Chains A and B, each alone.
Chain A
Amino acid sequence: MTDRTVSTTSPRRLLLPGASTQVGLLAIVGFLWVVFTALAPGFTSPMNLFSVGRSLAIDIVIGFAQMVVLATGGMNLAVGSIGVCAVMSTGYLLQDVGLPIPIGLAGGLVLGGVLGALNGIAIVRTGVNAFIITLASASLFLGAMLILTKAVPYNALPPELGTFGRLRIGGYISPLLVIAAAIGAALYVLYRHTALGRQILAAGANPRAAAMSGVPVGRVIIFSHVLSGVLAATAGLMLVARLGAAMPAVGGEEWLLPSFIGPVLGGTLLSGGSVAVLGTMFGAALVTTIRSGLLVLQVGNFWLQLFLGVILLLAVMADRYRSVYAERRSLGRR
């Protein structure tokens, strides 16, 4: 549905339309919800729903920050570093400079965008691959943050921020989840309904062909990195609201794997040219659901990761066989 595949990758992959991946994921997440609710009534208690939704919201935005760069066929290993830079700069603006909250938050977002732009420009200008550039810049950004802040957290922020993070809409919905959904909607519109979105996907699928048909590939890549930086900063600021403090230990390498999980589970290709906005949300939801379900069921303490891995494996395999089955049936009908 949300997928625009302008891809020229292996025919095997093309047989699998991304839209069905998203339907399948949604079905599996739904199925797991039913199972966990049946096994442990506490799973759908307002407290648990609120807590799951809130951590999911941050994971989704981290996933988006990676997804927008994956669309161009690149990647951004610096999402975590940009996130923590935004967090600490907002902390500085609010606590040390004493600016009002909106300006402090805007400062963090702008810094995220600027750092993203640095990544994008470095990649386009040098032609070195995005992996290496962002690997190095992740270290540079984090290092600069350490030098400037001496790793001292800001824990006297305006209390409204922390209150916002604890706010519950209707008893169990976190406003952070609403923000994540709004960002998702905006990205959906960008890739689905704007010329810029189509240019990004075209550049990601086949840069040479895109350039020949007049797409400013370099600018498109830089734009995607700016967007990625702003989204990473957003995730960081959501975490500030969640924690009520700006601390240097958030983000960093810890975001690396989560940033890929959502998009890739959701059907975004690492080779570029496709995005799955809804898929990224469902992908993140799948992992969060399994983890939360296992916690509520109180499965095995130290063994929990084993169950998490096995269920995740079964879930993606179930989805795979469902889509292969659906494909065969539709071929048979033809």
Chain B
Amino acid sequence: MNAILRRFLMVEWSGLLGAIVLGVVVLSWLSPAFLTEFNIYVMLRSFCVALLVGFAQMVTLAVGQMNIAVGALGGLVAITVGGLMETFGLPIAVAVPVAVGIGALGGLLNGVLTARTGINGFIITLATASAFTGINLGITQSIPYYKLPPAFVAFGSERIFGFPFLLIAPVIVAALLALFLARTIPGRHLLAVGGNPQAAELSGISRDRTIMLAHVLSGTLAGGAAVLAVAQLGSAQPSIGTDWLLISFAAPIIGGAALTGGNVSVFGTSLAVILIALIENGMVLANVDPYWVQFLLGALILAAVWLNRWRAVRTGGG
């Protein structure tokens, strides 16, 4: 029996999965409301935006870059989709692709600037983040767009049993992204450049083009996250994205990605998002004293990471 278990434990994300299973067991014992259909829906719905935000950072981490502008780009896309629908009355089918396209365009700008100038991507995206936020606030003067098509808002809250419609997008994206990274040539180039830029360049992979690709993908994913956030909140708030920065790094890195590039896991990132959402949901369910919430969040993340580490040491891995 140990052979299967050992093989499972060898997998990098198995510790995270263990922590999640443990969390689910504890919570369903602690709170009868935890496994109700409505809470499952609430929890699944809270993954959606964070998943895409995590992926948006993950693809830049894959090439050894970072994108400080995920949140700023998200905010810009959010108010674009809102503005197009409210002010210009465009249908959803036009507004959403155009807005996500703006995200891709912003990503392209990041990519071109980083690749062409050779300046550290951190600095470039820091500067563009400020610029994107400035455009966002300049246009909206911080006033949200409220009048969105009912069908769009409904998409953000409808469900079949415990399954929110909103989750459809991240699930498809996760599957495509996993396929892209593992099975396609550009996807492998991404990881190759992240892992060893010199070797990749020697084997004929264009470093610049790959970096641009990663940033375009990152912008697109951030845009997708923003559109979901607008649907979820039911209004296009200019403040969307302002608190994405930390979670965007935390999810991929807890999920096993290296800051230096070349190693990312779609599944690991997803598990990290699920773990954090589970902890946050659990604390509301368990009626934790608000003054203790921060402390417990830190302690539980530490415990989960330690569990994963312990597993890795036990199985002789990293």
- Using a CB–CB cutoff of 8 Å, the interface residues on chain A facing chain B are 10-12, 77, 126-129, 131-133, 135-144, 146-147, 150-151, 253, 256-257, 260-261, 264-265, 270-271, 300, 302-310, 312-313, 316-317, 320
- Tell yes or no: B171 within 8 A of A by CB: no
Residues of B close to A142: CB separation below 8 A: 294-295, 298
Residues of B close to A303: CB separation below 8 A: 134-135, 137-138
CA distance A128 to B68 in the complex (A): 23
CA distance A127 to B249 in the complex (A): 19
Residues of B close to A129: CB separation below 8 A: 253, 259
Say yes or no: A306 contacts B295, CB within 8 Å. Answer: no
List 28 A-B residue pairs with CB atoms under 8 Å apart, sorted by A's residue number: A129-B259, A133-B302, A136-B301, A136-B302, A139-B298, A140-B295, A142-B298, A143-B293, A143-B298, A146-B292, A147-B292, A257-B68, A300-B138, A302-B138, A303-B135, A303-B137, A304-B134, A305-B130, A305-B131, A306-B131, A306-B133, A306-B134, A309-B127, A310-B131, A312-B130, A313-B113, A316-B117, A317-B119
Known: A133-B302, A309-B134, A313-B127; 7 extra A-B contacts, CB below 8 A, are: A126-B306, A126-B309, A132-B250, A136-B305, A143-B294, A302-B138, A316-B127
Interface 1/0 per residue, B130-164 and A, CB below 8 Å = 11111101100110000000000000000000000
Main secondary structure of the interface of A (DSSP, over half): helix
Say yes or no: A257 contacts B131, CB within 8 Å. Answer: no
Residues of B close to A138: CB separation below 8 A: 298
- Tell yes or no: B126 within 8 A of A by CB: yes
Cross-interface CB contact of B134 among A128, A261, A307, cutoff 8 Å: A307
Say yes or no: B309 contacts A139, CB within 8 Å. Answer: no
CA distance A302 to B118 in the complex (A): 31
Residues of B close to A265: CB separation below 8 A: 123
Residues of B close to A127: CB separation below 8 A: 309
Say yes or no: A264 contacts B127, CB within 8 Å. Answer: no
Nearest residue, chain A, Cβ from B254: A132
Say yes or no: A128 contacts B305, CB within 8 Å. Answer: yes
Q: Give the size of the chain B interface in residues (CB under 8 angstroms).
A: 47
- 10 A-B pairs with least C-beta separation: A143-B295, A306-B134, A309-B131, A139-B298, A305-B134, A309-B130, A143-B294, A140-B298, A303-B138, A136-B302
Nearest residue, chain B, Cβ from A138: B298
Cross-interface CB contact of A305 among B137, B246, B254, B291, cutoff 8 Å: B137
Interface 1/0 per residue, B114-130 and A, CB below 8 Å = 00011110111011111
- Tell yes or no: B260 within 8 A of A by CB: yes
CA distance A126 to B135 in the complex (A): 44
Cross-interface CB contact of B126 among A141, A302, A312, cutoff 8 Å: A312
Say yes or no: B197 contacts A10, CB within 8 Å. Answer: yes
Given contacts A128-B309, A309-B134, contact A135 B295 (CB under 8 A): no
CA distance A257 to B242 in the complex (A): 12
CA distance A144 to B129 in the complex (A): 32
Nearest residue, chain A, Cβ from B302: A136
CA distance A305 to B128 in the complex (A): 10
CA distance A127 to B306 in the complex (A): 10
Query: Chain B's nearest CB lies how many Å from the CB of A298?
Result: 15
- Tell yes or no: B31 within 8 A of A by CB: no
Say yes or no: A306 contacts B138, CB within 8 Å. Answer: yes
A-B contact count (CB 8 A): 138
Given contacts A264-B123, A303-B138, contact A146 B131 (CB under 8 A): no
Residues of A close to B68: CB separation below 8 A: 257
Query: Chain B's nearest CB lies how many Å from the CB of A285?
Result: 15
- Tell yes or no: B297 within 8 A of A by CB: yes
- Tell yes or no: B33 within 8 A of A by CB: no
Given contacts A132-B305, A313-B124, contact A320 B118 (CB under 8 A): yes
Say yes or no: B118 contacts A131, CB within 8 Å. Answer: no
Say yes or no: B122 contacts A137, CB within 8 Å. Answer: no
Residues of B close to A271: CB separation below 8 A: 260
Residues of A close to B117: CB separation below 8 A: 316-317, 320
Say yes or no: B130 contacts A308, CB within 8 Å. Answer: yes
- Tell yes or no: B36 within 8 A of A by CB: no
Cross-interface CB contact of A136 among B123, B128, B292, B298, cutoff 8 Å: B298
CA distance A315 to B118 in the complex (A): 14
Query: Chain A's nearest CB lies how many Å from the CB of B168?
Result: 30
CA distance A265 to B245 in the complex (A): 19
- Tell yes or no: B198 within 8 A of A by CB: yes
Residues of A close to B130: CB separation below 8 A: 305-306, 308-309, 312
**8 Å CB contacts to A: which residues of B285-312?**
291-299, 301-302, 305-306, 309
Residues of A close to B123: CB separation below 8 A: 264-265, 316
Say yes or no: B128 contacts A313, CB within 8 Å. Answer: yes
Residues of B close to A135: CB separation below 8 A: 246, 250, 301
Interface 1/0 per residue, B66-93 and A, CB below 8 Å = 0010000000000000000000000000
Query: Chain B's nearest CB lies how many Å from the CB of A5?
Result: 15
CA distance A88 to B20 in the complex (A): 35
Query: Chain B's nearest CB lies how many Å from the CB of A32?
Result: 14
Query: Chain A's nearest CB lies how many Å from the CB of B52?
Result: 20
CA distance A250 to B27 in the complex (A): 34
CA distance A133 to B254 in the complex (A): 10
Say yes or no: A143 contacts B301, CB within 8 Å. Answer: no
Residues of B close to A304: CB separation below 8 A: 134
Residues of A close to B246: CB separation below 8 A: 77, 135, 253, 256
Nearest residue, chain B, Cβ from A324: B118
Nearest residue, chain A, Cβ from B310: A126
Say yes or no: B302 contacts A140, CB within 8 Å. Answer: yes
Cross-interface CB contact of B122 among A77, A141, A264, A307, cutoff 8 Å: A264
Residues of A close to B296: CB separation below 8 A: 143
Say yes or no: B295 contacts A147, CB within 8 Å. Answer: yes
Nearest residue, chain B, Cβ from A130: B259
CA distance A77 to B68 in the complex (A): 15
Residues of A close to B133: CB separation below 8 A: 305-306, 309
